[in-house]
Amino acid sequence: MFKNYIFILSFLFCFNTVSQSIESTQIDEDQKISDFLINYDISPNDFFILNPAFTSSRFNYLKLDLEKKLKSGDFIRIFESIENNKSEQISFIIHKIKRKQTLSEISSIYGVSENLILKYNIEIEIKRNNILKIPVKKARINKSNVVDKLKAYTVKPKEGKWRIAYKYGISINTLENINPEIGSILKLGQKIAVPNKDEIKLNTVEENNDYFEIQKNIQISVLEQKLGLKNNSIIKLNPGILDSVEKGIIIKVPVSTKTNEDVINLSKKSLQDNIVDFDKKKFAIILPFRLDNFDYDSIQKSTPILKNDKLLNISLDFLFGAEMAVNSYSELGIDVQMDVFDSALDSSKIDQILDENNFEIYDFIVGPLTDNLFNYFVDSTKDLNIKIVKPLSKKQNTDRRIINTIPNDTLLFNEIISHVESDTTRSEKYIISDSKSVEISNKIKKIFPESKQFFSKINEFGDDTKTLVYNDLDSTFVKGKNIVFLETKEQGFVSNVSSILNSFINDTIKIELFTTNKNNAFEGANVSNNYLSNLKFQYASTNKKIDIVEDKSFIDKFISNYNYFPSKYSIRAYDITYDLLLRISNGDLNDKNIFEIESQYFENKFRYKRSSSGSIDNIANYLIKHEDLKIEEMTDK
């Protein structure tokens, strides 16, 4: 009854001892659904779950639905069983072809489709006296014995796709293919189909373990070695796994297991997987465009402003990044409204904006960008219960409504110091600074009392030359590991010191360079990346560089929209905006269970904490290391 071709939807999953795939097959002859079920040993429940277009209720079909007709040309999703012992499932009747008997007649006699007959008689010609093997399935007589392979499942709070997939022992891809209309995110109370397993056989997600999705077929022993795990540790935590795992499988591993290209850590709390509020979101951005400066009637007069006005270009970059975030968020199926206001770098313009608009309708406000206007806006809206986000500069105001997105210097200082303290390798420590960074140098000296301090040269006129010479450090470094802190905001001093330090590195003397205050001085054109790489330069940072390979899709989309590579301001705007939209979709921004979730995007990560002074401050940061001419995040905090 079916054409001799099948479109495989390319995924496998297991129910007991039967390996299953879902296929789409095209009907070439009208028939009732009830007849179709008999031919393919599929239960009514599974048929309507896989083919909801033929019923008004996917999980509660009516008996009348079974009488509906499948028409020639219809595509139907079905199971294809690959039993462990087919001879036990299928028996054969021997049929001798009579004179002028056609395949269609033989098919009608036995109630077996023509294609199924041909499948087991590939080389047999349909002519008189030839013998055919007619396949007969044992379960054919009593269809009430067909077991449901699928059942309905109602999504519970904080339950994303990976948790349900792991619970039922299938891949995320399989869950999505069983439920083609599942969408990007699951909603609380949403009804989906899952394997029909007994509750006692389900996997349990344990919060004291991590859960990895396998990215390629791999031997367990190889995976354990690459992840730094003991032999058989994966098998002990995952009893159903033997000697290898296939792509897409979710496995349980010890908490804090390091990741690599073979796995994705699914167990990190995901804002996207925990969305509970699908109402339309509204937010505003206040940027210093200063549109009144433009002469809209003269392109010649306006072009130089567009090219040379740094603050205007930052504003445009930020706006474009936020717009990209809005588009990404909208793809989750949630409406969002972004209103943009021009602060004009003028407090009177802020007054006008507040007079003419109702800011209480917004879930949050981003900006103004400059510190003075930001503080003015905060003071001017004391009567409004709104969240005000500081996107580009560090904390100054401590109002409880403020969200400070950039970690403060003290946190970054403590992070890199803790990293050095956690290193148990024996090492000598040194602190090099210029005259403006003596206070930081002394602070480090108190933490590492045995460390030696060096300062930039002061000339005969009492001026800081921002330099050292080779002899200043000659015979200083010992065999083994030497840790050097460099504290300065002068590019020339970074270039000078990194060059000198690099000259001391040899087979026995190892020097690693650190700073507690990474700033633009370390990124200047005169600073050699080769030297920084040789010195394994390390620091704590509020951000990292976008991965041009891994994040190519975003970069290409941005270039397609705006015709240039996204700047750090565009990327930061995207990261902040997308993160905040997800957080308010998870619940109340004042809820510590919401703002303490750590999230990471293209260049920025966020994990907030309510400060003692009241504001909500970002405390997430990166530990960055230069090595082998690469700048990468250190994961071994």
Highest mean pLDDT among 143-152, 184-193, 608-617: 608-617
**Is pLDDT above 90 for 66?**
yes
Supply the pTM of this predicted model.
0.68
Closest residue by Cα to residue 266 from 317, 213, 214, 222: 213
Residues 161-207: tens digit of each pLDDT: 899 999 999 998 889 989 988 877 788 788 999 999 988 889 988 87
pLDDT at 304: 62
Q: State the residue for tokens 């979101």.
A: 281
The pLDDT tens digits for 230-242 are: 888 898 899 878 7
Amino acid identity at 83 = E
Is there a common fold for 86-143 and 281-407+550-620? no
Q: Is the pLDDT of residue 215 over 80?
A: yes
Residue 514: per-residue pLDDT: 97
Burial of 241 (0-12, 13-18, 19+ CB in 10 A): middle
Sorted by sequence, the CB contacts under 8 Å of residue 466 that are 6+ apart come out as 434, 456, 488, 490, 492, 493, 496
329-341 pLDDT, tens digit per residue, is 998 889 999 999 9
- The mean pLDDT value for 528-544 works out to 94
pLDDT at 16 exceeding the cut of 80: no
Give tens-digit pLDDT for 430-469.
Answer: 999 999 999 999 999 999 999 999 999 988 888 889 988 8
Please say whether the beta carbons of 318 and 373 come within 8 A: no
More confident site: 430 or 27: 430
Partnered with residue 403 across adjacent β-strands are 389, 616
The answer to whether 517 and 485 are in contact (CB under 8 A) is: no
Which helix (DSSP H) or strand (DSSP E) does residue 325 occupy? helix 310-330
If one compares 300 and 611, the residue with the highest pLDDT of the two is: 611
Cα 356 from Cα 469, distance rounded (Å): 62
pLDDT digits (tens, 9 = 90+) for 109-119: 888 888 888 88
Of 155, 168, 152, the residue nearest 58 (C-alpha): 152
* CA end-to-end distance (rounded Å), the chain: 63
pLDDT at 20: 55
- Kindly list the strands in the beta sheet with 538-541, ordered across the sheet, starting from the edge strand earlier in the chain: 452-455, 427-433, 480-487, 509-514, 538-541, 622-627, 630-633
Neighbour-count burial for 38-47, b at 16+ CB within 10 Å, e otherwise? bbbbbbbbbb
Distances in Å between the Cα of 556 and the Cα atoms of 319, 324, 360, 574 are 18, 12, 36, 15
User: What's the CATH code, domain 86-143?
Assistant: 3.10.350.10
Q: Which CATH number fits domain 281-407+550-620: 3.60.21.10, 3.30.930.10, 3.40.50.10490, 3.40.50.2300?
A: 3.40.50.2300
Asked if residues 259 and 212 have their Cβ atoms less than 8 Å apart, the reply is yes
Contact (Cβ atoms closer than 8 angstroms) between residue 566 and residue 325: no
**What is the residue extent of each domain of the chain?**
86-143, 211-266, 281-407+550-620, 410-541
DSSP 3-state of 47: helix
pLDDT > 90? residue 327: yes
Closest CA to 11 of 152, 171, 160: 171
Residues 290, 295, 298, 300, CA torsion sign: negative
pLDDT tier for residue 4 given thresholds of 50, 70 and 90? very low
Angle at the Cα of 499 from the Cα atoms of 493 and 502, rounded to 5 degrees: 135
Strands (E), 177-301: 191-195, 209-214, 218-219, 244-245, 250-254, 263-265, 281-287
Q: For the chain, give the mean pLDDT.
A: 86
Could you please state the CATH topology (level 3) that the domain comprising 410-541 is classified under: Rossmann fold (3.40.50)
Q: What is the pLDDT of residue 474?
A: 86
pLDDT at 622 over 60: yes
DSSP string covering 413-425, please? HHHHHHHHHT--S
pLDDT in tens, 571-597: 999 999 999 999 999 888 888 878 888
